[in-house]
Amino acid sequence: MTATAQTPLVPDLAALQQRAAQRAAERAGGQDRLRGHIVCDGLVRIFKTEGVEVVALQGLDLVIDRGELVAIVGASGSGKSTLLNILSGLDTPTAGIARVADYDLLSLSAKRRLSYRRELVGFVWQQTGRNLLPYLTALENVELPMQLAGKRSRRARRERARELLDMVGVGYCADRRPGQLSGGEQQRCAVAVAVANDPEVLFADEPTGELDEATGAEVFGALRTINAELGVTIVVVTHDHAVATQVRRTVAIRDGRTASEVRRTARVGADGNTELVSEEYAVLDRTGRMQLPAAFVDALSLRDRVRLDLEPDHVQVRPGDRASDGQEERA
């Protein structure tokens, strides 16, 4: 499935992505260490409540490179928050592999889990009220995590807090309390708070869920800038499929598994103009399984089993019509 669109976002996105990769490479100590900053392989999370088992993640595979900005989309209940809670160290998986940087999230000791959450990870919640302390100004909110970490001088903290607020476009809000900010301004401050201690990865669970589309786009703009300027790897969960226009890689989760991906790449067309090409990919897991998009299944009324044919450069999938199967067997 290929769709092309000409948008002024193109050079912007490509340039930002390039800068993010550069910054990430600097942090990682070379291009060769960029691969697989976040790795999930056959990740399983089963919840047991009152004897009932819910399989929230059923063998999820995902690799995110250092410096990437990835959106995770999927229907309600598909396992997005479960995945993010595991990756941010709030929850422990039942089985499989979940690794972020050098941290194996299945076997973290309590001490290492604490250091993981304090030093490696930043988090932005959907509920604006959960991200900021109401009695502190925006500037003080950004200073607080640095103060708790006790690493910078008072003056250096203030300077960095101002710098971060400017970076996410809300420098003018520095002296206001959250109650005096719009939802979008609060979420952009929350992004500044989350990266105050220079985390390697930033997770955001529906950060634009309570915002309208235009305000949500501003928050995504802030995430893109942070990604480009600081080289932080960012994973954003959202309900909103239109988010694919805001990032270069969107991963869709269905029933606790990664089902498909959309990647946007800039190409120079025949007329010399740069255009943005979106391509949708199905995800093939380690054992060769893939999920057909629901629209394809419906269009050909595919059911139960399908016929596969290997062609020189592609694989054909056709309805496995039982009546004709029988005839061929008899022939």
- We find the least distance from the C-beta atom of residue 81 to Mg ion, in angstroms, to be 3
> Between vectors from CA 24 to CA 23 and to CA 25, what angle results, nearest 5°?
90
By beta carbon distance, the residue nearest Mg ion is: 81
Partner touching 137 among ligand ATP, Mg ion, none, CB below 5 to 8 Å by kind: none
SS3 (DSSP) at 304:
coil
Partner touching 93 among Mg ion, ligand ATP, none, CB below 5 to 8 Å by kind: none
- We find the least distance from the C-beta atom of residue 157 to ligand ATP, in angstroms, to be 34
With the CA atoms of 126, 77, 254 and 1 taken in that order, what torsion angle do they form, in degrees rounded to the nearest 10? -50
* Stretch touching ligand ATP by CB under 6 A, among 5-13, 48-56, 111-119, 176-184: 48-56
Q: If you count DSSP H runs as helices and E runs as strands, how many of each does the chain have, helices first?
A: 10, 14
- We find the least distance from the C-beta atom of residue 78 to ligand ATP, in angstroms, to be 4
Instruction: Compare residues 168 and 202 and give the one whose CB is closer to ligand ATP.
Output: 202
Contact 144, 161 (CB under 8 A): no
Partner touching 2 among ligand ATP, Mg ion, none, CB below 5 to 8 Å by kind: none
**Residue 87 binds ligand ATP, judged by CB under 6 A:** no
> Between vectors from CA 202 to CA 201 and to CA 205, what angle results, nearest 5°?
140
- We find the least distance from the C-beta atom of residue 65 to ligand ATP, in angstroms, to be 23
Restricting to residues 187-246, which ones interact with ligand ATP according to CB under 6 A? 239
Q: How many residues contact ligand ATP, by CB under 6 A? A: 13
**Alpha carbon distances (Å) from 7 to 13, 266, 291:** 10, 10, 31
**Residue 281 binds ligand ATP, judged by CB under 6 A:** no
**Residue 15 binds ligand ATP, judged by CB under 6 A:** no
Query: Closest by alpha carbon to 140, among 188, 194, 180, 176?
Result: 176
> Is residue 172 packed enough to be buried (19+ CB in 10 Å), middle (13-18) or exposed (0-12)?
exposed
- We find the least distance from the C-beta atom of residue 242 to ligand ATP, in angstroms, to be 16
Partner touching 79 among Mg ion, ligand ATP, none, CB below 5 to 8 Å by kind: ligand ATP
